[in-house]
Amino acid sequence: MAYLTTAPRGTKDILPSESGRWQYLESTLLRTAARYGFREIRIPTFEHTELFSRSVGDTTDVVQKEMYTFTDKGDRSVTLRPEGTAGVARAALEHGLLGDALPLKVSYNITCFRYEKPGSGRYREFHQFGVELYGAASPAADSEILALAYHCLKEVGLGSVVLEINSLGCRECRKRYTQALIQYFDRYRGQLCGTCLERLEKNPLRVLDCKNPEDQRIAAGAPSILDYLCDNCQEHFREVQARLTEAGIPYRVEPTIVRGLDYYTRTVFEMVHTSPNGERVVCGGGGRYGGLIEELGGNPTEGIGFAMGLERLLATMTAEGCGFPPEEPCQVYLASMGESAGVRAFRLASLLRERGISAQCDLMGRSLKAQMKYANKLKARYVVVIGEDELQKGEGLLKSMDTGETTPVRLDEGIQIP
Ligand code: AMP
């Protein structure tokens, strides 16, 4: 029976008391991105499995271990999206958006699914806000994405965020760097975890991303990608930094950032908040990707974007005491005694709602006393009591619940609520 009253592990209900915060966060992020020209795209919750194994990279943890993959009734393998970039790229290709005026700028608010061990802010279904910018290879595009990432967090009240940036270089830089990494890690074969030994064969960069403390200690001494960048990649990275400095956007270069997915090239970054007790909170991250659109069958097209985890962002905002807009309270409660008064209350409530005023009336057949108690619970700003006398006169008293003050109010189309 517990299955009927307990949500699946790693999922979470967003209750009516919390949803206002979510609406505020999501709309603020979308609005901020819109100022930079990003328009929202909505993509399906599931895609063909191949889309993710092709784009996210089949050596990543996400694809190897965490995907919610199943065979549908038509015998097709489909996967609940573990992230947004692949689906957005697929949609951009499918609808010819990359043939229109470039750059293409899109934003999204989505749920993502990863079969992870739940706990400490990790869920199996979670929410991401993200953006993608296609068609611009310039450092200017990187700077704009970084500026937007910073701006989004500032807009919701996290003003002390720092962008940690790195460059993974182009294919050529990566090739030389990968060789250097293999040489370095080879000496520690006896000490690396089993997964990292496998990574060393398939994708040595991933070893830098291992969460195992012993592996992390070894990785700390590994060569830095920044020493392997070609002239062009160095110049690109330098220009991104010059623009950030010019615009006053706080950043620091962090050569260990490689990001979890395979498709990144050149600029990668994380948005890092440091809590008062010194804890490093990563609110999200992103980067540039070169081969993704090509991998999906399109013409070579540069992309850059980021995604932030909204569960973590909300928790950080709450811990930091960021303000949230108050919920819209009930403006007026129309209490009634008797059936005719109840019908009038309903009519007046409808009228007020049409005028944009939030109004409620009794649906429970409660006594007047119980209705007043309920109006209090709703934190209604005003209450009108409608009984036989009021019906006859077509007028009642509007009581301010704040001051207790009463003023006459008409109980027909002429009703006016402050
Ligand atoms: P990623 O797509 O792995 O780069 O993740 C982007 C952001 O999504 C991270 O910074 C996290 O805040 C968030 N995120 C990733 N996985 C989870 C998860 N299992 N539960 C909650 N948030 C997550």
**Residue whose CB lies within 8 A of the most ligand 1 atoms, among 114, 127, 164, for a mutation test:** 114
Q: What is the pLDDT along the chain (418 residues), one digit of tens a residue?
A: 688 999 999 999 999 999 999 999 999 999 999 999 999 999 999 999 999 988 876 666 777 688 999 999 999 999 999 999 999 999 999 999 998 789 999 999 999 999 999 988 899 999 999 999 999 999 999 999 999 999 999 999 998 899 999 999 998 998 999 999 999 999 998 899 988 888 888 888 888 888 888 998 999 899 999 999 999 999 999 999 999 999 999 999 998 888 766 678 899 999 999 988 888 888 899 999 988 899 899 999 999 999 999 999 999 999 999 999 998 889 999 999 999 999 999 999 999 999 999 999 999 999 999 999 999 999 999 999 999 999 999 999 999 999 999 999 999 999 999 9
Cα dihedral 42, 312, 250, 136, rounded to 10, equals: -20
The reported pLDDT for the residue numbered 204 is 87
The reported pLDDT for the residue numbered 171 is 86
Ligand 1 atom with the shortest distance to the CA of 259: 4
Ligand 1 atom with the shortest distance to the CA of 62: 3
- Other CB atoms within a 10 A radius of the CB of residue 109 amount to 19
- Other CB atoms within a 10 A radius of the CB of residue 389 amount to 12
76 strand-pairing partners: none
**Residue whose CB lies within 8 A of the most ligand 1 atoms, among 288, 308, 314, for a mutation test:** 308
Ligand 1 atom with the shortest distance to the CA of 123: 20
Under 8 Å between Cβ of 257 and 284: no
Separation of CA 305 and ligand 1 centre (Å): 14
Separation of CA 275 and ligand 1 centre (Å): 18
Under 8 Å between Cβ of 86 and 55: yes
Residue nearest to atom 15 of ligand 1 (CA): 309
φ, ψ dihedrals at 32, nearest 5°: -65, -45
φ, ψ dihedrals at 302, nearest 5°: -75, 145
d(CA 286, CA 165): 10
d(CA 117, CA 343): 54
Separation of CA 82 and ligand 1 centre (Å): 9
Does this model's pTM top 0.85? My answer is: yes
Ligand 1 atom with the shortest distance to the CA of 121: 21
Separation of CA 89 and ligand 1 centre (Å): 19
The reported pLDDT for the residue numbered 177 is 93
Q: Which two tokens stand for residue 77?
A: 């393998």
Separation of CA 72 and ligand 1 centre (Å): 26
Write out residues with Cβ below 6 Å of ligand 1. 83, 114, 116, 121-123, 126, 128, 260, 282, 284-285, 307-309, 311-312
d(CA 22, CA 233): 39
The reported pLDDT for the residue numbered 209 is 81
The reported pLDDT for the residue numbered 276 is 83
Separation of CA 225 and ligand 1 centre (Å): 24
Separation of CA 18 and ligand 1 centre (Å): 20
Residue nearest to atom 11 of ligand 1 (CA): 309
**Residue whose CB lies within 8 A of the most ligand 1 atoms, among 312, 313, 316, 317, for a mutation test:** 312
Residue nearest to atom 4 of ligand 1 (CA): 285
φ, ψ dihedrals at 158, nearest 5°: -95, 85
Q: Which two tokens stand for residue 188?
A: 């520690």
The reported pLDDT for the residue numbered 256 is 85
Spell 110-135 as b/e; 16+ CB within 10 A means b.
bebbbebebeeeebbbbbbbbbbbbb
